[in-house]
Structure 1
Amino acid sequence: MHVPFVTRPRTRVDAHVKVLDDDVVALAKERGIDALVYAPHFTRITTVRERAARYSDDDLTVVPAREVFTGDWGNRRHLLVLGVTDPIPDYITFEGAMAEFERQDAVVLVPHPSFATISLTRPEIAAHADRLDAVETYNTKLLPHQNARARQISESTGTPGFGSSYAHLPGTVGEAWTEFDGALDDEAAVVDAFRERRPRTVVHRGGAGHQLRGLVEFVHLAYENTWEKADRLFLSGDEPTLPSNVAYEGKFDDVSVYSGGIADYRPK
């Protein structure tokens, strides 16, 4: 008897993007992406959720997330968190952030591990491996040796990997993704796939075009991390994700890495 071959559905998740508009959504669909994890910098989760809902439809799920900056500007450790509902500020201690993630039962991912002074290092990941749900093993913005180092960190710490375009520019969306078996039809399903450490494959596009997109993003990174840009972000000392913002009602004052004055937030 002939048994027909049945292809199981798979879900492609571009697990970290910074941009979201009609063009981004169209490109993601064109490239076969089923879900985007949207985590713009310095934006409260309530705003991220509203924007994610606006661009989600039957063909593409936009998962709201936060890339939280722990520590001070010069020694910050980025953590990508999914499944959060209550606002979490930047520039709080690592332990303060982790406590809040645990309170909200959030999924905690490590973007661009051991990169510059903005990422968790190998020893830090090893020390907290039981509190982390995945480590990014392919990031379009990074260079080949940096992604190879990330894969080694994932393997040595026993932490699952994930891949993303890390798109700060619209044309990079869908250049890399994390592929899960089965259909993940909504935000909760995507979050649970990471939380449950389900098997996945990290995939990226190839060829000269992909390499060029990565180089363009890498060059853009220099602008993203200049003191000049940071200075503009801290002009008022009351930006949406600073712990001193009135929206947090002092809840994070005891874990803030700054005392709250405008001069304290302005990078030196």
Structure 2
Amino acid sequence: MTRPRTRVDAHVKVLDDEVVARAKARGIDALVYAPHFTRLPTVRERAARYSDDELTVVPGREVFTGDWGNRRHLLVIGLSEPVPDYITFEGAMAEFERQDAAVLVPHPGFATISLTRPEVDAHAERIDAVETYNTKLLPHQNARARRTAEATDCAGFGSSYAHLPATVGEAWTAFEDDLDEAEAIVDAFRERRPRKVIHRGGAGHRIRGLIEFAHLGYENTWAKLDRMFLSGNEPTLPSNVAYEGRFDDVSVYD
């Protein structure tokens, strides 16, 4: 008898009919959907729309803490209320703890956007998992991430980190339980249940990863930042009226 297992691609940025079909074809049971600069209610609505009996879509937020030049990304699932980007790290962590959300560290040590090994170590008790395999990253970067998780005694997780539909299902986190609802998947991360981090192999896998890595350029351009602040009302800025001033005291921008 086959043991129940739930395969979670634990971080994707895209979600549509093509993404859902690809995930199912690759045997993925759940996706964590966490697009950039998108408020939680919108993420939830899309996650619910694309969830069905074969695939659970878990709404998440990759929150940018700190300012643009010194930001630290945190992947958060199980939020009950929206949390904006560009607030202090401590302000974000306090809010996540208040909401009893699961806090995951994506792409540790990568560029200037991720928690470093000393930062992960300093906050290990407040972190529920560290990404140890990310399809977008190069082999030496994933090896460094695994060393960070091992040295800090943090649970690991894996994801495709798909910004492009073709990458969905290239890597996943396999839990040993049958988790058929978003809340159960959040609990599995929060409770640090046993899991394996698995990824596809071969030339096709590496090519998809390299294409994703090349796509990274636009994701980190100043043009994106300029557009955000020129509008002055980006959905995930703390100054957006939707947050009703709740995060003004921890905002990193006036």
Settle same-fold status: TM greater than 0.5: yes
Alpha-carbon distance in structure 2 between the residues aligned to 1:27 and 1:231: 34
Q: For 1:79 and 1:230, locate their aligned partners in 2 and report how far apart those are by CA, in whole Å.
A: 18
2:221 corresponds to: 226
- Return the alpha-carbon distance in structure 1 between the equivalents of residues 76 and 214 of structure 2: 26
Preserved contact between residue 46 and residue 85 of structure 1 (Cα < 8 Å): no
Aligned residue in 1 for 2:185? 190
Shift of 1:199: 0.7
Partner of 1:88: 83
Give the structure 1 partner of residue 208 of structure 2: 213
TM-score for both structures, normalised by structure 2: 0.99
Find the aligned partners of 2:203 and 2:230 in 1 and give their Cα distance: 40
Residue 153 (str. 1) matches residue 148 (str. 2): yes
How far apart, in 2, do the equivalents of 1:133 and 1:229 lie?
Answer: 30
Counterpart in the other structure of 1:37: 32
3-state DSSP of counterpart to 1:52: helix
Q: Deviations over 1:80-100 (max 9, x none)?
A: 000002110000000000010
Pick one of 58, 62, 78 that aligns with 2:57. Answer: 62
Deviation of 1:234 (Å): 2.5
1:40-62 Cα offsets, whole Å, 9 max, x none, are 00011111000000000000000
Residue type of the partner of 1:199? P
Unpaired runs of 5+ residues, structure 2, are none
1:239 to 224, 234, 237: 234
Q: Helix, strand or coil: the match of 1:102?
A: helix
Is the Cα–Cα contact under 8 Å of residues 38 and 65 in structure 1 kept in the other structure?
Answer: yes
| 1:131 partnered with 2:126 | yes
Superposition deviation, residue 237 in structure 1 = 1.2
CA distance in 2, matches of 1:221, 1:194: 27
Structure 1 CA distance for aligned equivalents of residues 219 and 230 of structure 2: 16
Rounded to whole Å, the distance in 2 between the matches of 1:60 and 1:233 is 33
The structural deviation recorded for 1:229 is: 2.2
Distance between the aligned counterparts of 1:110 and 1:182, measured in 2? 22
Match of 2:231, SS?
coil
> What is the Cα deviation at residue 147 of structure 1?
0.1
- Find 1:171's aligned residue among 166, 169, 177: 166
Cα distance in 2 for residues equivalent to 1:224 and 1:40: 12
Select the residue among 17, 31, 39 that pairs with 1:22.
Answer: 17
Aligned counterpart, 1:266: none
The offset of 1:105, in angstroms, is 0.4
> Any idea what SS the aligned residue of 1:223 has?
helix
Q: What's the RMSD between the two structures over aligned residues? A: 0.6
For residues 174-194 of structure 1, the C-alpha deviation after alignment (integer angstroms, 9 at most, x for no partner) is: 000000112100001100110
Which residue of the partner structure matches residue 3 of structure 1?
Answer: none
How many residue pairs match? The answer is: 254
Percent identity over paired residues: 81
Whether 1:201 aligns to 2:159 is: no
Q: List 4+ stretches of structure 1 deviating above 4 A.
A: none
1:106 aligns with 2:101: yes
Letter in 2 for 1:77: R
